[in-house]
Structure 1
Amino acid sequence: MSIEFLQQFCKSLRGTTEDVKWGHDLCFCVGGKMFCVTGLEGPFSASFKVTDDEFEELTSREGFEPAPYMARNKWVLVTKPSALKKKEWEHHVRQSYELVSSKLTKKVRKDLKIE
């Protein structure tokens, strides 16, 4: 897993924008709401939103932990990228995108052509 792969995959999802926040985090958003974050410095890691059931399961596995500041919203931090295969990365990032985009207003979803 690499920042380049994550960037390419996230940007392939309709309506995705990217922005650098807090000086060193690359954030991927849909409708202004974050669905995936990766650090630009240090070893590769990434955070994304998961379902309630997956949160408990993933945070008990090696290479995962509750995401700082976002754990209450069911975000996980992947500290060991090899803990997920490419298809699993795609699944979790796409699912995070869908969880976040489903909470957008109908108008925003229509404007972004997400339906």
Structure 2
Amino acid sequence: MTPAELDAACLALPAVTKVVQWGGSDVYKVGGRIFAIAGLAGGLMFKVTDLAYEVMTQSGMARPAPYLARARWVSFDDLAALDPEEVADWLKTAHGLVAAKLTRKQRAELGL
């Protein structure tokens, strides 16, 4: 997956904003809450379900994201090695998990 493909996949999701912070990392948010971070050492981090976290980390597919593992985030070191369609599905799930934590009012304001 290229950075442009990642950007397109994230920004295609509803109510997503992108900011650049933490030394040039692309941070994708819904309702002001982060669901994915790209660019930290060339990799990608995002939120996953509890089951996906266990499967991805125990199989060695991904590793627990530094500082965010307790919130069930995973990290991939090489964005280029990832399949764009698979990552787009993961990002859609990450977006949904974070959006579900927003208040009913916030979701309504964002059209979610």
TM-score by length of 1: 0.89
- Corresponding position of 1:13: 13
Structure 2 counterpart SS, 1:69: coil
Counterparts of 1:48 and 1:13 in 2: how far apart (Å)? 14
Q: Does the 8 A contact of 1:63 with 1:80 survive in 2?
A: no
TM-aligned CA deviation for residue 25 of structure 1 = 1.2
Distance in 1 (alpha carbons) for counterparts of 2:61 and 2:52: 14
Q: Which amino acid aligns with 1:36?
A: A
SS in 2 for 1:26: strand
- Any residues of structure 2 matched to 1:1-115 within 5 Å, and which? 1-39=1-39, 42=41, 44-81=42-79, 82=81, 84-114=82-112
State how many pairs are aligned: 111
Choose between structure 1 and 2: higher helix proportion.
2
**What is the aligned-residue identity percentage?**
35
Deviations 1:54-80 (A, max 9, x none): 101101234511001100000000124
Relative contact order, CA 8 A, sep 6+: which one is greater?
Answer: 2
- SS in structure 1 of the partner of residue 28 of structure 2: strand
One-letter amino acid of the structure 1 residue matched with residue 18 of structure 2: E
TM-score (norm 2): 0.91
For structure 1, list consecutive stretches of 5 or more residues without a partner in the other structure.
Answer: none
RMSD of equivalent CA atoms: 1.4
8 Å contact from structure 2 (residues 44, 78) kept in 1: no
